[in-house]
Amino acid sequence: MPVIRTTFGLLALALSLALAATVRGLAADAPLPLESVVLFTSGVGYFQHAGEVTGDATVEMQFAADDVNDLLKSMVVLDRDGGAATVTYASRDPVTKTLGTFAVNLTDNPSLGDLLGRLRGQKVELDAASPVAGTIVGVEKRRLEAGKDQTVEKQFLTLLTSDGLRTLALDAVTRIKLVDARLQGELEKALAVLALATDNEKKGVAIAFTGKGPRNVVVGYVQESPIWKTSYRLVLDGDAAATKARLQGWAIVENTTDADWRNVRMALVSGRPISFVMDLYQPLYVPRPFVEPELYASLRPQVYGQTMSDADKPLALADRRLDERGARGGLARREMAKGVPAAPAAMAADGAIAMDAVSGVGGGAARGSAIAGIAALQTAAAGSDLGELFRYEIEKPVTLERQRSAMLPIVAAEVEAEKVAIYDERVLTRHPLSGLRLKNTTGLHLMQGPLTVYDQAGGGSYSGDARIEDMAPGTERLVSYAVDLDVEVAARGEGRAEEIVNVRLVKGTLFAARKLARAKVFEVKNSGKNAVKVLLEHPLEGGWTLVAPEKPEEKTRDRYRFAVVAEPGKPVTLEVAEEMPIEETQVLTNLDDDAILFYSRAKATSPAVREALAEVVRRKREIEQLVRDKGVREQEIATIDQEQARIRGNMGALDRTSDLFNQYVRKFADQEKRIETLRGEIAGLVATEQEARKGLDDYLLALDVK
């Protein structure tokens, strides 16, 4: 009869049951053999199994629990000879919900006392000081003295025995046996669920094929996979200016699955299909509202509303609003019905997945790979950051044991390589880098990766490392792998005077075209034994135009490259000159005479512009003279006013019959006449000034001189 010894005994029993279940799962029938693997640079891989089944057959496959979500999202099952297939798997219900279905609820991790309390009414047999059998009445807690001023809490189990009620201390119980075998089984199952809740081992997936006779079947799916990588080696010949080199390329792949890859077809794709993880394995439950049934026996106090005649108005308004919303909703539903999207292109009319020549690795339409439906959803994004879409087909089948990695040869060919030295002041200010102008003549697309260079001139020894970006067939790249200590470069900037190249006048505005100039001089010295072709890199900045040399050797998005050949012991100099045209705008009335004379004296200023500027200066000076003449007269009036104020003060202290008083009166009369004359002259000057300013404005607006 089943026995509960302690809580630890229950857990040990559950773990043993879980382990037994896991072992049985691992012993399932062998799955369909893996046929092909396609690895992407986006961190996923497509795995395709293929084989033959006869009649109604079930194929058991094992997957890691973490991979089940990808499996449910991407699995494609195809019976090529017209059969049908269904996929079943063990549901992953939340453990708390599963535990709640057993007779003994272990959801909240109960103690032994709590567990026995939930078994009230059950018959048990237990060992304490003596064997006891009875029915559980309950568990209670008591505080007992444990010394001076100290107490301890203990749990006591109350049983109904044939001799009456008995109370036993739980810490004195050494064995508990449930008499009800069904209840014991429920408890074991609940503990097994708890043990399996943390199980990260394999999960079984059963694929049931239904049909008649032998048939070819395919199962494909996408799973997370390490990104495959590339690595290259380049061996240069002994020529100082090598034009040929031998290139080896390797693809680095990892088999992180739990199954060996044996004689599988493999393809490596640089594409970046959009991939994500969605939790499809975990069951989801929608919370539902709790509705209480009406209890007519206990009526609540009623509240009575207004008369029906007054209530009709808001009710009618509410009805109209509901009708309007319903009409809009119906219209929206009808519009949605009109715009129902068509079935995806990858699905046939009968719901079968369309298969085409975008087949399994190395296969054609005859092989009919299930990856076609997936490939139809892939989009290649153009741009240097995303790379380009290309594919390597591994010619020979690949065998790779689980949890091992491999280097697979993908390139072995001659390429064109020219030895150069590359100088960039941003990288090193004194020495250039030893490099190569590499041309991809392999006919294959080379994916970005590290490149290790070996030079036969140095006995075939290691020369340095480089990094190449994606290279399409026929394209060229510069790569650098070491510092060239035999070549030194000194770069210095030289200033150039700013020059006015054109002046024109349009409607009172002066437009002056200026030319900014700058130059950088590169001095190259070669202390080695062989001539070196040096590529000098110079910034390509917007607005600046190259003047000398006439054109660069190469031009990138942001750099010029100029080539010079540095012979041993013969320094060579290259000057790079650039110009930037700018145009400034000045309103002529805002320029003083010195500024106007500056533009007038420029070599690029035409005689017509000089004549127009001279006329502007003349007119401006005429206006300035009128303003000065008016100012002189206004100042004289102000002086007379001050003099008259002084005289008025003196006259207040004089006898009106005195000669001095009469003299002041005569002087006042003369000053008033002068003031009247001055004011007349000022009025004339103001009119003349206004006329002169209008004449200047009209003249400026009519200007269009180059």
The string of DSSP letters for 402-435 reads: TTEEEEEEEEEEEEEEEEEEEE-TTT-SS--EEE
Query: Residue 295 phi/psi, 5° resolution?
Result: -115, 100
pLDDT for 283 equals: 67
In terms of domains, do 460 and 498 share one?
no
Banded pLDDT at 421 (limits 50, 70, 90): very high
In terms of domains, do 476 and 513 share one?
no
Banded pLDDT at 303 (limits 50, 70, 90): very low
Pairing, β 34-40 against β 261-269: parallel
| Residue 272 falls inside a structural domain | no
List CB contacts of 571: < 8 A, sequence separation 6 or more: 523, 524, 525
pLDDT for 13 equals: 36
Q: List Cα–Cα distances, 616 to 518, 622, 690, in angstroms.
A: 35, 10, 16
Q: What is the DSSP letter of 341?
A: P
* Average pLDDT rounded to a whole number, residues 487-501: 87
In terms of domains, do 516 and 578 share one?
yes
In terms of domains, do 535 and 567 share one?
yes
Share of the chain above pLDDT 90, in %: 17
pLDDT for 333 equals: 37
Instruction: Decide which of 588, 616, 649 is a domain's last residue.
Output: 588
CA 89 – CA 483 distance, rounded (Å): 61
For residues 69 and 203, the model is more confident at: 69
* Average pLDDT rounded to a whole number, residues 617-632: 89
Give the 3-state secondary structure of residue 220: strand
Q: What is the DSSP letter of 457?
A: G
Pick from 687, 695, 694, 698: nearest CA to 629:
687
pLDDT for 584 equals: 87
Pick from 156, 387, 403: nearest CA to 270:
387
- Looking at the DSSP bridge assignments, the partners of residue 585 are 511
Banded pLDDT at 28 (limits 50, 70, 90): very low
Quote the tokens at residue 462.
Answer: 């290691």
Q: List Cα–Cα distances, 292 to 207, 297, 384, in angstroms.
A: 45, 14, 64
Contact 482, 464 (CB under 8 A): yes
| Residue 72 falls inside a structural domain | no
pTM of the predicted model over 0.75 = no
Quote the tokens at residue 310.
Answer: 């007054």
Q: What is the secondary structure of 289-304 as a DSSP string? A: ---PPP-TTSPPPP--
In terms of domains, do 479 and 495 share one?
no
AA identity, residue 412: A
Q: List Cα–Cα distances, 447 to 249, 267, 431, 630, in angstroms.
A: 10, 14, 30, 84
Q: How many CB atoms lie within 10 A of CB 99?
A: 20
pLDDT for 362 equals: 36
AA identity, residue 529: K
Q: Which of 230-234, 267-271, 554-558 has the highest mean pLDDT?
A: 230-234
Range of the domain at 631: 607-705
| Residue 290 falls inside a structural domain | no
pLDDT for 93 equals: 57
Whether residue 196 is predicted with pLDDT greater than 80 in this model: the reply is no
| Residue 168 falls inside a structural domain | no
List CB contacts of 307: < 8 A, sequence separation 6 or more: none
In terms of domains, do 480 and 536 share one?
no
In terms of domains, do 468 and 546 share one?
no
Whether residue 530 is predicted with pLDDT greater than 60 in this model: the reply is yes
Average pLDDT of the chain, as a whole number: 77
Instruction: Decide which of 466, 485, 504 is a domain's last residue.
Output: 485
Pick from 144, 192, 134, 199: nearest CA to 167:
134
Q: What is the DSSP letter of 647?
A: H
In terms of domains, do 583 and 512 share one?
yes
pLDDT for 293 equals: 62
pLDDT for 219 equals: 92
* Average pLDDT rounded to a whole number, residues 419-435: 90
What is the count of structural domains for the chain?
A: 3
Whether residue 114 is predicted with pLDDT greater than 50 in this model: the reply is yes
| Residue 48 falls inside a structural domain | no
In terms of domains, do 474 and 532 share one?
no
Banded pLDDT at 101 (limits 50, 70, 90): low
Instruction: Decide which of 454, 485, 516 is a domain's last residue.
Output: 485
CA 360 – CA 54 distance, rounded (Å): 23
In terms of domains, do 620 and 674 share one?
yes
Quote the tokens at residue 693.
Answer: 């300013």
Kindly report which listed range (63-72, 125-134, 312-321, 624-633) carries the lowest average pLDDT score: 312-321
Whether residue 86 is predicted with pLDDT greater than 70 in this model: the reply is yes
| Residue 456 falls inside a structural domain | yes
Quote the tokens at residue 683.
Answer: 């009025």
Kindly report which listed range (304-308, 555-559, 631-635) carries the lowest average pLDDT score: 304-308
In terms of domains, do 575 and 521 share one?
yes
In terms of domains, do 502 and 438 share one?
no
Q: What is the DSSP letter of 471?
A: B
Whether residue 558 is predicted with pLDDT greater than 80 in this model: the reply is yes
| Residue 446 falls inside a structural domain | yes
Question: Based on C-alpha coordinates, what's the Rg of the chain?
Answer: 50
| Residue 336 falls inside a structural domain | no
